[in-house]
Amino acid sequence: MTIMNDSKVGQIAAEHPLATRVFARHGIDFCCGGGRPLQEICEGKGLDVASIMDEIQAELSVGDGAGPRWDEADPSDLIDHIIATYHGPLREELPRLEFMAQKVTRVHGDKMPEALPQLLSTFLGLKAELDAHMMKEEQVLFPMIRSGRGSQGLAPMTVMESEHESAGRALEKLRHLTNDYTVPEGACNTWRALWVGLEQLETDMHEHIHLENNILFPRARMN
């Protein structure tokens, strides 16, 4: 794929995985917004599209390989990767983040009386949604795709994509409430760990959603 101004960012990320480093640096949504052209997104964010394309080419030229080309892999292998790399760790990480969010809000709520309660509420909503979302994928949608019946799962895939958008909005709100994960002065170790954990959650969720929205689901719809 030759990267052009009108190339869709999801397709760029699928065919050139290292490009996601550039997208992450500039806050370019390549998961839920993967269907939008690069130039359109750059214009909306006040970015120079030529400079972004140069950065992508620089990453590709010095990178240690593009990593797995999941757009060329067997869908069952991609599903295995999603479950092992994202679903499994999420089931461990979400309770840990919830514990820290509860503790920080309880102990330090007076330091950020508006933001911390909102952060806790937003996170709890996201956690509940992700728990249910992963179960539906693993018990309903993924088995359909594995058996070659992806075209029969159009409705479930549409629901999953809608829930991805909802998760994306929650992640955006968490970033806003944390001032781009800027650790407050004098924050305790738990508070610092919470900010680091939430930012990593955002990074992982973007890649997770990208693999489903831009690679797995489009391929499944053709089966």
Per residue of the chain (223 residues), give pLDDT as tens.
688 999 999 999 988 888 888 998 998 988 888 899 999 999 999 999 999 999 999 988 876 555 678 988 999 999 999 999 999 999 999 999 999 999 999 999 999 999 999 999 999 999 999 999 999 999 999 999 999 998 888 999 999 999 999 999 999 999 999 999 999 888 999 999 999 999 999 999 999 999 999 999 999 998 7
Same domain, 113 and 200: yes
What 8-state DSSP symbol labels residue 213? I
Whole-angstrom distance, CA of residue 112 vs CA of residue 95: 22
Domain limits for position 197: 75-221
* Strand partners for 37: 8
Asked whether residue 4 is domain-assigned, the answer is no
Domain co-membership, 53 together with 163: no
* Residue 1 falls inside a structural domain: no
Terminus-to-terminus CA distance in the chain, angstroms? 23
Same domain? 98 vs 205: yes
Q: How many domains does the chain have?
A: 2
- Determine, yes or no, domain membership for 122: yes
